[in-house]
Structures are given as structure tokens and as C-alpha cells.
Amino acid sequence: MTPVRLASCIALALAAATAHAGDVSPQKATNLGAVDVTAKLDEARNSLSPDTGSSQYVMDRQTIQALPLGDSTPLNQVILQAPGVVQDSYGQLHVRGDHANLQYRIDGVLIPESIGGFGQTLDARMIQNVKLLTGALPAQYGERTAAIVDIATRTPSKDGLGGSVGITGGQFGTVNPNATLFGRSGAWSWFLTANYLENDVGIENPTASRKPIHDHTNQVKAFGDVSYLIDDDTRLSFLFGATNNRFEIPDNPGQSPEFGYLDVTNFDSARLDERQREKTRFGILSLQGKLGGTAYQVSAGQRYSGLDFTPDDIGDLMFNGVASNVRRANRASTLQADFSTPLGDSHTLRYGLYTSFERATATNDALVFPADAEGRQTSTVPLDIVDASRLIARTYALYLQDEWSIGEKWTVNYGARADRYDAFRPESQLSPRVGVVYQPDDGTTIHAGYSRYFTPPASEMISPTSIAKFQGTTNALPNDGNDTPLAERSSYYDIGISQKLGNAWTVGLDSYYRHVSRIQDEGQFGTALVYSTFNYDQGKVKGDEFTLNYDGGALTAYFNFAYNRSVGKRIITGQYNFDPDDLAYIHDHFIHLDHDQKYTSSGGISYAIDDATRVGADYLFGSGLRRDGLVPNGDTMPGYFQLNLSVSHDFHLMPEGATHAQLALVNALDRTYEIRDGSGIGVGAPQFGPRRGVFLSLQQDF
């Protein structure tokens, strides 16, 4: 067995002092008020979710508002400030060498990810705090295990109505109005927020130019949380959200057509008109509270996600030999139940279940040209081929674990999880988990853990392809292969230490190693901005993280640095998407995965000049994702550094509340950097990072 290497950490990063609502004991009173009851129930809900043995990084609402774009910051950009998180094109994130595989929870309830990814679905304005859990996770957490994005939603803290309205505007045609309304009356409480975003950089620019061509986006997001206190020990809640995002696919000028269409021999690639629409809706009904000494939460929910890609028929045919109208839809119905029961003074038993039922459809209505055996076009008259598929996937999981407090310094959390995934065929696994925390003194925390993981393929990303239908066309697939993605199975080891230095400093080190069978990856195959899952037979992932945090009251700062290495060998599913020469090389050699970035760093500083004025800065650094070299993924993209600056001030112009103004300078040095160059295993097109932009946010509270 490969030994675990020591290093990097429990970073309580930006906010060592961040407090979850349930971390504060409720006030004791003979007759509890609504606020006291809510705090009591929040404490009960928090007791359902242990993190013993894992690494966690917490960002509270104040931390998010201190980012240059404040509440207008997309969720994926918020998470990028955590250690070991790597940015990719289309808003994708990679945590600890994994491709996607993130699990999103809202108030403890798992929500299946949408086809377009939650980076552009959830809104930072709904967040009270967000916790990123990584490492050897307890048995409660399954399905997506690269990291848990655990969101605690905002709730009103007093009776009456409140809220805010505001707008963010700036360069690249950015307009982002928003409104939030919250309140409490008797047993009822509610929080509602919605915003509209419009700009001219909806997707990363495929060129180094300052302004992309044909890249307009319109996005609408809404979220709501309505709760009713049935009694002092029981709460009924309904969470819901909706997103409707429209994108123009940016053009890359100067490209030469490879195919002829009827009597047309030339086409200006700067005039392509491809578009994509992404929709997501979800609703969750939860009954939560305490029954005797047992805390519980039972939730039933449904998530719908849809994607429609509309090609430029003539242009796509002439440049790619195929113009595909792609439609994908996935509807997931879920049931989740979690329980926590204290056993004496030193044990807490946690147990529960999770089930989901998914219906997924994928349609590819493609125009193609006839072709000979060598792939050469034999006619300029296109053919229409429809390739459609349906998938039903069922997921079942049970877990049982015990958190054992041994004296004052040791805590052990051990248990097991049973998973079954049934789509094309049934797959299952029993996964043991164990995590240990040792606290020799108030300033030192050492953790270690082992977790066996079972990761089903993302059902929303599965799109079986009919190889036979496209034979003899310009969209003929180069190789036959296994069309069924497989569940990933891995052993995860994690060890780390967190040390307080005085009252203001916290330093952390953490190291992880993962040995994987059937390691999953995702690639963009075609012009639609949608990913498909495939498997390598073997994978190895290892890395280290270092964090340093300072909280001096008016001055706060954080620094994260991470090393990662992710490799895979032998592609065993989805082989038809790859060049035969690449497949032959990968069959006998480990290669770097396309999302492997050797070094990643983030950091920031914020200073409160007075109670009303604050200045800040943050940065992102990456040594570069992979690209093709002498071998597949054998080279790296150039490194990049992005610096963002901000200044904010609260004006007291109205008796109803403060007027908050925040000026942001994104990519202040205007460094041009390329995230992708279009080469690499599963990489679709080149993308560049954002150029310098100035943005102003105005927010009025009431």
C-alpha cells in the first residue's frame, strides 16, 4: 500500500472565527421565542453532519461580501478562493485533482447537480456561510466525493420585513440588478432573492482579444426558502430555485472551412451563430427537528435540468462536417433521511438513507455529409441523422456511523456506507470509513482518515451514441468501444494538522493520496458546451495543501498553496471519442489527466479603514492545465496570475438602511492568459481568462 505523505490542511481559512448558526447555543428561556426556536432547530440540524477526519474550509457572508464583486460573485468564483480548487473553462471547478464530482448541499440536503453545472446556477446572495469539505469524508457523504459544497442559507433574525435592492454594472456590457426580501411573522419565516445578469462575456473568449465576438448572455436566477414552525421541536421547510441561462457561443475568427456546402465554398468564422440555453429547477420539502434525544431531517425533492444547443447549420457543416442540434434533459426525484442519536456521554450514532430516481433523455439531430472510408466528403448535400437515447437510473444508499469521544483529546468517527447504482447494469459497494481527530491543546488539531468511495457516473452526463448511424459520414466515429460509463471505486487517505499561532494566525498542512479503479473523467466532444463521462482503468491522485490565515480584527488575510498530480491509464469506456493513436499510447502508459494542474494558489487581504470603508485585494495563480505535447496531455499551458482589487463604503442616506457602494477592478494588471488551447484529451476549444474590467455595485438595504 502506498504510504500517505504528510502535509496540508484543515484550513479554516478566511474565517477562523466564522460561526455557523448552530455553533452558538440558543438562549434558555421558559417560553422560547421564534428566534430561539430557530437557533435550537439549527443546532439540531447541524448535529446531523459530522466532519471528523475531513478537511474543511469555511467562508461566511462577510468573507463573500469582501470579494471584489461582493454578492455578485458567481458561486464558482467564491469556491475558487479555497485551497486546492482549480479553475477551468465554462465555470468548471476541479478540487484535489478530480474532474467535477462536486456534491452540493443546501441546509444539509443533497441536490443533484444540473447539466450546466451549479457554478452558474446558485447565487451567492442566498449564502449565510459555505463550507468546503474535502479529504476522507464520513459515511454520511457519498455519490459525489471530490468535495462537499455545504451551503447554509440566510434566514431572518427578527420579526418583520426586510431586504435590499441593488445593481452591479460595468464594462463588457454588464448589467446585474437584484432584489432580496426576507421576513418573519409568527411561526412563518421566508427568504427570497432573484437577479438578472446580462453581459458580453458569457463564455470564455477563444481568442486573446479584449472583447469576444458573439458572446452575449442573459441569465435569470431565483431562490426561496419558506419555513413554518410546527412546534418548538419541529420545522417544515420548502427550498426552491430556478435558473434560465442563455448563451451565445463565442466565435474564433480566421478559421478555414474544411467542407463544402452545396455551392458555398467559403464562410466567415466570425459570423457563426451558435447558441445554448440551460434551465434548472428544484424544489425540496423538509421536515426537521428533534424527537426525544434524536435529531432528524427527512427531505423529498425534485430537480429538473435541461440543455439545448442550436448550431449554425451551414457554418458548423463547413467547419466541422456536422451541425448538431443537441438536447439533453434530466429529472431527478430524491428522498433523503438523516438521524443523529446520542448514546451516553461519549458516543453519537448517525444513520440514514438516500435514494434517487432519474429519467434522462439525450437527442442529437445532426446534419452531416456523406463520406468515404477515409472520411473524405463525397457530396455537398447534407444528410439528417437523429440519434436519441433514454436512460433510467436508480441510486440507493444506507449509512451507519458512530462518533466516539475518547477523553478530552481524541475523537474517532467510524462507520460504513452501502451504495447501489442501477442504470445500464447494477453496481454496488460496501465502503468502510474512519476518521480520527487529536487535539493535544487548544491551539493544535491533527486529523487523519481513510475512506473507501463508490462514485456512480453522473447520469445527466451520460449520452449513449449510435456508432452505426454515423458510419459513412463526416461524423463517423474513429473507434468502437464500451458505451457504458462505470462507477468509480477508490481508496482515499488524508492526514493533516492545523495550528494556531497566537490569537491571530492559523497555519495548516494537509496531504492526500487516492488510488482509483475505473477513474472517471469528462470531456467536451462536439461544439455543444456539454460534457460526457468516460473511464480510465486505473488512476492515481496525490497532493499537498498549505494554508495561512490572519485575523487581526480590522485586517484579515489568507494564503493558500496546493500541489497536485493526477494520472490515468487505459481508457476503457467511450473509446469512440478518441483518436486511435492516443488510445494506443494511453493503453500502456499513465498520462496526466487534462485537469491536472501542478501548482495552484489563492490569497487575499481586506482592511477596514473605519466602520464604513474597506479596501481589499485577492489573487489567483495556476501553473497551467494540461495540453498535448509529444504524448497526450504531455505538456502544460503557461502559468497565470490574476489580481483583483476593490474598495467599498457604506453611506447612510436613508433611514431605512445603509447604501452600500463597492468598486471592483478585475484582473487589475490586465494579464492575458489562456486556460485552454483546444488540445488535450477531452478538450473542446481554446479559452482565455477575463481581461481587465471595472464594475460598480450599489445596494440599498431596507
Each residue's pLDDT tens digit, 534-581: 999 999 999 999 999 999 989 999 999 999 999 999 999 988 888 889
pLDDT digits (tens, 9 = 90+) for 66-103: 899 999 999 999 999 999 999 998 888 999 999 888 99
What backbone torsions phi and psi does residue 28 show, to the nearest 5 degrees? -90, 130
pLDDT in tens, 435-444: 999 999 999 9
Q: Which neighbouring-strand residues pair with 327?
A: 308, 363
- Three-state DSSP state, 421: strand
Helices (H), ranges, 2-101 = 34-46, 61-66, 75-79
* Angle 102-108-110 from CA coordinates, rounded to 5°: 45
Q: What single-letter amino acid sits at 60? A: D
What is the residue type of 525?
Answer: F
State the pLDDT at residue 19.
Answer: 33
Residues 6+ apart with CB under 8 A from 376: none
DSSP annotation of 639 reads P
Nearest CA to 675 out of 90, 5, 51, 41 is that of 90
515 CB-near residues (< 8 Å, 6+ apart): 2, 490, 491, 539, 540
- CA–CA separation, 125 and 133 (whole Å): 21
Of 57, 70, 43, the C-alpha closest to 96 is: 57
Contacts of 385 (CB under 8 A, 6+ apart): 365, 366, 367, 368, 469, 470, 473, 475
In the prediction, which pLDDT does 557 show? 95
Residue 527 has pLDDT above 90, yes or no: no
pLDDT (tens digit, 9 = 90+) per residue, 97-137? Answer: 998 889 999 999 999 888 775 457 788 999 999 999 999 99
H/E run at residue 587 = helix 580-588
When pLDDT is averaged across residues 295-320 and rounded to a whole number, the result is 96
- Segment 613-638 shows an average pLDDT of 96
pLDDT of residue 217: 95
What is the structure's pLDDT at 3? Answer: 36
* Residue-averaged pLDDT of the chain: 90
Average pLDDT over every residue of 173-197: 96
pLDDT of residue 33: 55
Under a CB-based contact definition with an 8 Å cutoff, are residues 26 and 43 in contact?
Answer: yes
Can you give the pLDDT at residue 23?
35
What phi, psi does 158 have (nearest 5°)? Answer: -155, 165
Contact at 8 Å (CB) between 573 and 464? no
Q: Report domain extents, the chain.
A: 21-701
Q: For the segment 10-64, what is each residue's pLDDT rounded down to a tens digit?
A: 333 333 333 333 333 333 222 345 557 877 778 888 788 776 667 889 999 988 9
pLDDT over threshold 60, residue 389: yes
| pLDDT at residue 1 is higher than 70 | no
Q: Which of 362, 367, 361 is nearest to 383 (CA)?
A: 367
Which residue, among 36, 266, 259, has the nearest Cα to 158 in the 3D structure?
Answer: 36
CA distances from 35 to 56, 187, 562, 580 (A): 28, 10, 41, 63
DSSP state of 70: G
CATH ID of 21-701, from 2.40.170.20, 3.10.20.30, 3.30.70.260, 1.20.120.1760: 2.40.170.20
Instruction: Determine the pLDDT at residue 21.
Output: 33
Q: What is the predicted pLDDT for the residue at 35?
A: 59
DSSP-assigned letters across all residues of 540-564: EEEEEEEEEEEE-SSEEEEEEEEEE
The mean-pLDDT minimum among 228-242, 575-589, 664-678 falls in 575-589
In angstroms, what CA-CA distances link 261 with 258, 311, 382, 471, 473?
Answer: 10, 15, 8, 20, 14
For residue 67, give the C-alpha cell.
470579494
Which residues make beta-bridge pairs with 693? 666
Single-letter residue type at 64: I
Among 225, 222, 13, 26, residue whose Cα is nearest residue 108: 225
In this predicted structure, what is the pLDDT of residue 22? Answer: 34
